Amino acid sequence: MIMKTLLLFLAMFVSVFSVAQDGGMDTSFGNEGVVITDIDDSTDLGLAVVQQDDGKLVISGITSFDNGNSFLPYVVRYLPDGSLDNSFGDGGTLIGDFAEGYTHAMNVFIDGLQNIIVAGIFIESQAYHYKVARYDANGFLDTSFGTNGLFTVPSGYESKMTMLSDDSFLFVKFKNNDEISVFHYLENGTLNPDFGVNGIATSAFTGGQFKLEGVKTGANGNIFVLGRRDITLAADIILMQFQPDGYLNTSFGNNGMAIKTIDAMNPMNSSSAGFDFTDDGKIVIAGSSGACLNESHSIRQPFFLKYESDGLPDNSFGVNGTVLLPISNFEISQLLIQTNQKMMAVGHAQDCFEGSSYIIRRYYLDGNIDYSFSGGAPMELEYSTSIFQEDGKIVSIGSTPWYTGNEDIVVFRLNNNPLSVPQFEDQVVKVYPNPSKGIFIVEREFPIENNSYQITDVVGKIIANGELYNQQTQIDLSFVQSGVYFLKTSNSVFRLLKN
């Protein structure tokens, strides 16, 4: 095992913020917040991360020792400070032999006994199968699990897995193009005979093929599935709900589905999305739709969608449950909602030539950006994903870019306080004169942070947007017709009357 620090790579980090600020690098972790690990001079892709109860971090992915001709799954465990845990495997690393082949879809989970469950989609006999293995806390294959430590879900190319609170597992996958199935495996890796038919609940499905993006269970045990379908000049973002028994809940949305079409800007369309739940049981989706116009120009429409628990849009959120963020190259692939209900959108800035820069941004629950979060410093990563630690800090992983040499595992940690509510969120905000002939003054009691705003008309069309910088900010609506407009800030909505 070789642990190495790439000085040129780390030189990409630039930060003008205090390291203790939310979004700043946690300098108590690794080398100024970053750990880069190379497994025996191989190609190593970091694909999944989880935290153990004792604060140790477990990373999983695939590694290749023959220039990418073959891949094997690996597990690496780090101590809370980012150093390798030498008590685990071979100097902190183990290479699995339960599967072979390239994959970009991996999961890693920790059960109640601190066993490590590693899973992913691998090709075998010209078909894709979902392989699941369980290791004990010391890195030895647990032969009491499944069959000799593993089990396989056949024909699992379009499948997603999640682990439940009782250490059992749910899989959702397409079966042909007209059925969708939910599998329930018990904590010992065998199918639950009391679930569906011999452990599999299959529902007729006529919604067309789409890519599975994630599966999660809500507070009441309902199973939510997120998918996306790229079509010419648009993308369908699809949310489905299954009952706890695994069958499609046809009372959710429209016959079990809630679909939102997001326009793209080019026929070469691609999309991405992730989702999470609010404390009051609503579902928020964050994603992007767009395209590469050429090898150096990516254009994306980032968005938030918010649904009620019954699958209908939350009309108190944005316009008919939709907030369109400014068009950019931000490709959102993951959403994390923290305990104070602020939203973390995780993704990349694509350069359209197999390279991308990691981006994480924090938003208020109404979709306005939180400028008090610095978002760390941009760095180039492949296959990045993020989690919240128990203390609220953010751990993100990925791989170094291919053009810097063999890819290596990258782990970094950002400061983040999930409980604090900045004072300016609770401050008094006044708008005057109102009515006005066009000039409105927005006055804030505590102008500590910049705060974004948006002006919409009565049908939700965006008229203007900007930021509140000082104690008093002037907004000029003299260019619009007389009528009623709405000023939306991070925590308030004001009705404006233009004479």
CB within 8 Å of 11: residues ≥ 6 apart: none
Look at residue 9 and tell me if it is in a domain.
no
Q: Distance between CA 122 and CA 108 in Å, rounded? A: 15
| Cross-strand pairs, 153 | 130
pLDDT per residue as tens digits for the range 198-232: 999 999 888 788 889 999 999 889 999 999 998 88
Looking at the fold, whether 239 and 382 belong to one and the same domain comes out as yes
Q: Distance between CA 105 and CA 132 in Å, rounded? A: 12
Q: Distance between CA 393 and CA 220 in Å, rounded? A: 28
CATH of the domain at 465: 2.60.40.3080
CB within 8 Å of 233: residues ≥ 6 apart: 263, 264, 265, 266, 267, 269
| Tokens (6 digits) for 23 | 């979004």
Look at residue 6 and tell me if it is in a domain.
no
Looking at the fold, whether 440 and 295 belong to one and the same domain comes out as no
470, burial (CB in 10 Å: exposed 0-12, middle 13-18, buried 19+): exposed
| Of 390, 421, 452, the domain-final residue | 421
Looking at the fold, whether 430 and 286 belong to one and the same domain comes out as no
Looking at the fold, whether 390 and 484 belong to one and the same domain comes out as no
Tokens 């809630």, residue located: 258
Looking at the fold, whether 348 and 285 belong to one and the same domain comes out as yes
Share of the chain above pLDDT 90, in %: 54
99, burial (CB in 10 Å: exposed 0-12, middle 13-18, buried 19+): buried
| Of 377, 400, 421, the domain-final residue | 421
Looking at the fold, whether 240 and 327 belong to one and the same domain comes out as yes
pLDDT at 153: 86
Which H or E element spans position 413?
Answer: strand 409-414
pLDDT per residue as tens digits for the range 91-138: 999 999 888 888 878 899 999 999 999 999 887 777 788 899 999 999
pLDDT per residue as tens digits for the range 449-489: 667 788 888 767 788 888 887 788 999 999 998 888 888 87
Looking at the fold, whether 416 and 447 belong to one and the same domain comes out as no
Sheet architecture: strand order including 462-468: 462-468, 451-457, 483-488, 493-498
pLDDT at 188: 96
Look at residue 238 and tell me if it is in a domain.
yes
Look at residue 10 and tell me if it is in a domain.
no
Q: Distance between CA 423 and CA 420 in Å, rounded? A: 9
pTM for the whole thing?
0.81
pLDDT-derived band at 3, boundaries 50, 70, 90: very low
Looking at the fold, whether 307 and 200 belong to one and the same domain comes out as yes
CATH of the domain at 144: 2.120.10.10
Read off the pLDDT of each residue in 302-312 and give the average, rounded to a whole number: 96
Which H or E element spans position 10?
Answer: helix 7-10
Q: For residue 128, how far is the Cα from the chain centroid?
A: 24
| Tokens (6 digits) for 252 | 């959710």
Looking at the fold, whether 144 and 205 belong to one and the same domain comes out as yes
Using only C-alpha atoms, what is the Rg of the chain? 24
Look at residue 119 and tell me if it is in a domain.
yes
pLDDT of 265 strictly over 80: no
Read off the pLDDT of each residue in 27-46 and give the average, rounded to a whole number: 93
DSSP string, 445-462: S---S-EEEEEEETT--E
pLDDT of 425 strictly over 70: no
Q: How many residues does the chain have?
A: 499
> How many distinct structural domains can be found in the chain?
2
Q: Distance between CA 275 and CA 333 in Å, rounded? A: 9
* Nearest by Cα to 133 from 84, 88, 95: 95
Looking at the fold, whether 353 and 292 belong to one and the same domain comes out as yes
Look at residue 2 and tell me if it is in a domain.
no
Look at residue 185 and tell me if it is in a domain.
yes
What mean pLDDT, rounded, does the chain reach? 86
Alpha helices in 41-157 (DSSP H): none
pLDDT per residue as tens digits for the range 364-407: 998 988 888 887 656 788 878 999 999 999 999 999 988 788 89
pLDDT of 273 strictly over 90: yes
Three-class DSSP category at 56: coil
pLDDT of 246 strictly over 70: yes
Looking at the fold, whether 234 and 326 belong to one and the same domain comes out as yes
| Of 421, 448, 474, the domain-final residue | 421
Q: Distance between CA 185 and CA 292 in Å, rounded? A: 40
Looking at the fold, whether 353 and 459 belong to one and the same domain comes out as no
Look at residue 37 and tell me if it is in a domain.
yes
CB within 8 Å of 128: residues ≥ 6 apart: 121, 122, 155, 156, 157
Show the domain range for 246: 19-421
Three-class DSSP category at 215: strand
